[in-house]
């Protein structure tokens, strides 16, 4: 049995402002109508001998991950929640121990949740080759046959070709992301692949290699899985135990040290969408080689990526540029400078700006809310509650709330009262009053909330009951 392990814990800061800490690259639809996580799972759906996936993600993204899997009718084997990011080696170790609880010794197919693979059948052929090698006890990494010198990827040098007929070679060495001159030499040699970050191995084999080369990762992860607590759809791990685990990639922890490492090269329209230039490369281009999304008008614009979320963008006389507009931020950069977006992200972090954390629209397990306007002592939000969902029973110490239903119906708990509000009806929640909002209908509930008070932060909330097990949003 093959158990997919989907690594969905990244932050995706190189795609700011589309990607945010609470809404990272793998959770958004930057390539097609599906999110990157959904595309990754669907890419292997229906492959022979495939089990439901194990998802490893940050606990802040848990409800988005669960909802996106539900939307594509996937019931995962487990959703393991990382309290904090600790790179790929701990994530894979956790998944291996969890997988061994479901199957005696499954083969793990490890896939990052943020890749594009256009030629799925070629990808499946590489997986089949990987199965043959994994059954022999080898640790497989999938290498991408490069089509150009690329400075944004690490490289793997192929060693001796194996006689198995799978196209696999021994791994001779790993090379860090090179400068352009070095990348050209590696590309011209024909001996190197891009390091895709995708792997395949028996669960028992990766555990043995972790025990040999990274016992400080392997042993704590085993204990964390043993002590993990099931909470709704999620497996929760101890934050105290997890934060002491070294942060290391599986490449550094195992693959660069093991004698069992092999690489299977393949070429299938792969892209990790690690930058806006990569989005341009992967996108559908018009006659001027522009990739356009949203409400955009251009004149004499060539080779550019322009993405509008909410406003009209008009561009004139530019070439090879990136323009990205969201409701609260605009990015403008030459395409060959987009790697420097990380420097803007650092400035946002240094200044404690909320634009690094979330969009105006914030997702919750019950739906979402979007800030429409805000000034001193008042804030206006648009709230959407999914059918059958309800917010926590709560109260606030510093704000009152006015609710007006725009569409759908709402069951309101206000103190000892319970009422049903329909379209164009409203109610008032005084400061300090216990209250709850619920959608009893079959269509989304839309309402406008006007908050007023001395403090309007999201942390002014005391929960008394919550069906999602949250203590705070």
Q: Is the pLDDT of residue 419 over 90?
A: yes
**Res. 439: pLDDT tops 50:** yes
Instruction: Note the pLDDT tens digit of each residue in 362-413.
Output: 888 899 999 999 899 999 999 999 999 999 999 999 999 999 999 999 999 9
User: Same structural domain for residues 249 and 143?
Assistant: yes
Do 162 and 13 reside in the same domain of the chain? yes
E-strand spans in 252-318? 261-266, 270-271, 291-293, 296-299, 305-308, 313-316
**Is 188 in the same domain as 289?**
no
Spatial distance between the Cα atoms of 27 and 36, rounded to a whole number of angstroms? 6
Name the token pair of 137: 């006890």
Same domain, 305 and 208: no
Identify the pLDDT of residue 57. Answer: 95
Cis peptide before 216 (omega within 30 of 0): no
3-class secondary structure, 72 = coil
Residue 324: the pLDDT is 97
The domain boundary, picked from 227, 244, 271, lies at 271
**For the residues 117-142, what does the mean pLDDT come to?**
94
Domain tally, the chain: 3
Is 337 contained in some domain? Answer: yes
Would you say residue 352 lies in a domain? Answer: no
Q: What's the CA gap between 174 and 197, in Å, rounded? A: 12
pLDDT at 174 over 70: yes
313-340 CB burial, b ≥16 within 10 A, e <16: bebeebebbbbbbbebbebebebeebee
Q: How far is CA 361 from CA 62, 76, 358, in A?
A: 17, 27, 8
CATH of the domain at 88: 3.90.550.10
Task: Kindly state whether residues 175 and 59 are assigned to the same domain.
Answer: yes
Half-sphere exposure (CA, 13 Å, Cβ side) for 229?
7
User: Is 61 within the bounds of a domain?
Assistant: yes
- The whole-number pLDDT of residue 132 equals 94
Three-state SS annotation for 100-121: HCCCCCCEEEEEECCCEECCHH
Tens of pLDDT, residue by residue over 62-110, are 989 999 999 999 999 999 999 988 899 999 999 999 999 999 999 999 9
What percent of the residues of the chain are helix, what percent strand, and what percent coil, each to the nearest 5?
Answer: 25, 35, 40
pLDDT higher for 468 or 325? 325
Note whether 341 and 385 are same-domain residues: no
Q: Are 67 and 101 part of one and the same domain?
A: yes
- Whether 265 and 392 map to the same domain: the answer is no
Tokens describing residue 295:
């409400």
Q: Where in the sequence is the domain holding 440, given as residue range(s)? A: 361-465
Residue among 339, 329, 330, 279 nearest 303 (CA):
279
Tokens of 409: 């119906």
For residues 97 and 236, state if they share a domain.
yes
* pLDDT class of 284 with cuts at 50, 70, 90: very high
**Does 370 lie in the same domain as 318?**
no
**So what's the pLDDT on residue 473?**
47
Asked if residue 178 and residue 316 are part of one domain, the reply reads no
Q: Contact, 83 vs 237, CB < 8 A?
A: yes
Of 271, 302, 326, which residue is a domain's last? 271
> What CA–CA distance (Å, rounded) separates 224 from 204?
17
Do 155 and 291 sit in the same domain of this protein? no
**Preceding amide of 366 cis, omega within 30:** no
The Cα–Cα gap between 116 and 153 comes to 15
Residue 17, in any domain of the structure: yes
Q: Residue 387 domain-assigned?
A: yes
**Structural element, H or E, at residue 127:** helix 120-135
The answer as to whether 356 is a domain residue is no
User: Which CATH number belongs to the domain containing residue 447 in this structure?
Assistant: 2.60.120.10
Residue 127 structure tokens: 């997986």
Residue 444 lies in a domain: yes
Last residue of some domain: 271, 305, 331?
Answer: 271
Quick check: is 354 in a domain?
no
Compute the average pLDDT of residues 134-140: 95
Give dist(CA 410, CA 451) in Å, integer. 18
pLDDT averaged over every residue in the chain: 93
């Amino acid at each position: 049995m093959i158990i997919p392990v989907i690594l969905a814990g990244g932050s995706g800061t190189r795609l700011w402002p589309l990607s945010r800490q609470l809404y990272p690259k793998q959770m958004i639809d930057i390539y097609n109508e599906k999110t990157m996580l959904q595309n990754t799972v669907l890419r292997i759906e229906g492959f022979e001998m495939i089990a439901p996936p194990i998802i490893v993600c940050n606990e802040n993204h848990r409800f988005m991950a669960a909802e996106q899997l539900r939307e594509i009718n996937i019931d995962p084997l487990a959703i393991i929640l990382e309290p904090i990011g600790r790179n790929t080696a701990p994530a894979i170790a956790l998944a291996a121990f969890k997988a061994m609880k479901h199957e005696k010794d499954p083969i793990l197919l490890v896939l990052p949740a943020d890749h594009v693979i256009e030629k799925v059948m070629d990808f499946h052929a590489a997986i089949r080759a990987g199965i043959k090698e994994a059954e022999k006890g080898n640790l497989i990494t999938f290498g991408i046959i490069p089509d150009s010198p690329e400075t944004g990827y690490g490289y793997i040098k192929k060693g001796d070709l194996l006689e198995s007929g799978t196209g696999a070679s021994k791994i001779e060495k790993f090379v860090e992301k090179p400068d352009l001159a070095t990348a050209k030499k590696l590309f011209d040699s024909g001996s190197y692949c891009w390091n895709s970050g995708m792997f395949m191995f028996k669960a028992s084999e990766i555990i043995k290699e972790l025990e040999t080369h990274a016992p400080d990762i392997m042993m704590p992860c085993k204990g964390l899985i043993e002590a993990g607590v099931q909470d709704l759809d999620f497996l929760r791990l101890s934050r105290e135990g997890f934060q002491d685990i070294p942060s290391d990639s599986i490449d550094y922890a195992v693959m660069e040290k093991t004698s069992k490492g092999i690489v299977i090269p393949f070429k299938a329209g792969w892209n990790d969408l690690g930058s806006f230039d990569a989005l341009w490369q992967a996108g559908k281009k018009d006659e001027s080689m522009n990739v356009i999304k949203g409400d955009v008008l251009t004149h004499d614009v060539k080779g550019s990526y322009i993405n509008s979320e909410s406003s009209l963008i008009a561009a004139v006389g530019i070439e090879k540029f990136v323009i990205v507009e969201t409701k609260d931020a605009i990015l403008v950069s030459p395409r060959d400078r987009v790697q420097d977006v990380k420097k803007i992200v650092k400035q946002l972090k240094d200044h404690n700006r909320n634009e690094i954390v979330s969009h105006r629209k914030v997702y919750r397990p019950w739906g979402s809310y979007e800030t429409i306007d805000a000034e001193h002592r008042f804030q206006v939000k648009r709230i959407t509650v999914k059918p059958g969902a309800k917010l926590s029973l709560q109260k606030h110490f510093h704000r009152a709330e006015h609710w007006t239903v725009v569409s759908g119906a709402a069951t309101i708990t206000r103190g000892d009262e319970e009422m049903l509000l329909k379209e164009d009806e409203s109610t008032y929640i005084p400061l300090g009053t216990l209250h709850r909002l619920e959608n009893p209908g079959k269509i989304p509930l839309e309402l406008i909330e006007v908050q007023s008070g001395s403090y309007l932060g999201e942390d002014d909330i005391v929960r008394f009951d919550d069906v999602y097990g949250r203590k705070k949003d």
